[in-house]
Amino acid sequence: MSESPAPVAPELVEAAVRAARRLGKDVSEVPVLTIAKEAGVSRATLLRKLGGTRHRLDEAVRAAGIDPGRRNPVSERAIEAGAQLIAEQGLTGVTLEAVAAGARCSVHSLYVAFGGRDELLRAIFEKYAAGLDVSQALSDPDRDLPDTVHRLYRLLAQGLDHRPRLAPAMIARLLAQPSDDGLKQLAELVGPRLFNGVTEWLASEVARGRIRDLPVPILMHQLIGPVLHHFLLRPVSELVPGLVLPSMEEACEYFADAFLRAVALPPLSDQPAKEK
């Protein structure tokens, strides 16, 4: 019969409460390393005294009549930490060790929650880059062309501006360092969302005679390039003294109108008949 773990020492509970008050946080939000320093022991020693789990300390704090606060699940904390790392350092900054440090958990916990780094990256994009899927704007082939283009730009703007502005940060990083090992992963994760259905839609619009017969990749660049460029530069442009930028909504209207003026054709009934 296994022995029950020894109760958490009162001095460890007191150290956790002191650290929380000093930082102005709930006990559950205080990193284990900070509590260990407050208690005058190493992180490894603290975890050994806790039987290897932080949960026992939070329960001991609660038993002492103090609410330790709620900690988000490891998966949520890891997704938030990973998104912040991408925004600051690009894909190469997202190592499991760095995410674990930011999420205040172990690397083993990340393997349990996600299975590996690739799955973690996909989870991050599921949360922060969902707006880049513009297929909903293209779902009705009979929709008015100007209305479709305006809706598409609004969706792109929402996805690109979604905090922590994950996609622009990653793209800017890769433009600066095209040899980044994350390029292939970026294409696999972002590409399907950003281009899903758009190439087919552009080809169908050419076939229907509603837009100019240009190579689809050129039409794609004409469509997405300006708004992507705008969102990459907007944070810097906002710092330029005296430069007044249009609102996001106004910018989308300008880009949509410019695209339509560049490639839209008049209705077939209004086009001159071809000479035989």
Provide the residue ranges of all domains of the chain, joining segments of one domain with +: 10-63, 74-125, 130-266
pLDDT band at 96 (very low <50, low <70, confident <90, very high): very high
Q: Kindly compute the dihedral angle of the four CA atoms of residues 113, 118, 123, 127, in this order, to the nearest 10 degrees.
A: 150
Class of domain 130-266: mainly alpha
Q: What is the pLDDT of residues 219-265, one digit of tens each?
A: 999 998 888 888 888 878 888 999 999 988 999 999 999 999 999 99
Instruction: For domain 74-125, say whether CATH 3.40.720.10 is its number.
Output: no
**Residue 227: C-alpha distances to residues 33, 156, 213, 221 (Å):** 44, 8, 22, 10
Give the pLDDT confidence score for residue 276 in this predicted structure: 45
Give the pLDDT confidence score for residue 261 in this predicted structure: 95
Identify the top-confidence range among 32-46, 71-85, 250-264: 250-264
Q: Choose between 266 and 215: higher pLDDT.
A: 215
Q: Find the DSSP H helices in the chain.
A: 10-23, 32-39, 43-49, 55-63, 74-89, 96-103, 107-114, 117-128, 145-161, 166-176, 183-195, 198-207, 216-237, 248-263
Assigned CATH topology for domain 10-63: Arc Repressor Mutant, subunit A (1.10.10)
Q: Which two tokens stand for residue 188?
A: 């696999």
Paired with 211 in beta bridges are 264
Q: What is the pLDDT of residues 185-231, one digit of tens each?
A: 666 666 666 666 788 899 999 999 999 999 999 999 999 888 888 88
Q: Are domains 10-63 and 130-266 of this chain identical in fold?
A: no
Q: Identify the weakest region by mean pLDDT among 17-26, 99-108, 134-143.
A: 134-143
Cβ atoms < 10 Å from Cβ of 208: 13
Average pLDDT over residues 168-187: 65
Average pLDDT over residues 24-39: 85
Q: Are 256 and 153 in contact (CB under 8 A)?
A: yes
User: What pTM did the predictor assign?
Assistant: 0.59
Q: Identify the weakest region by mean pLDDT among 18-27, 44-53, 103-112, 133-142.
A: 133-142
Express as a percent the part of the chain with pLDDT over 70: 79
Cβ atoms < 10 Å from Cβ of 169: 19
Average pLDDT over residues 130-141: 71
φ and ψ at 264, to 5 degrees?
A: -70, 140
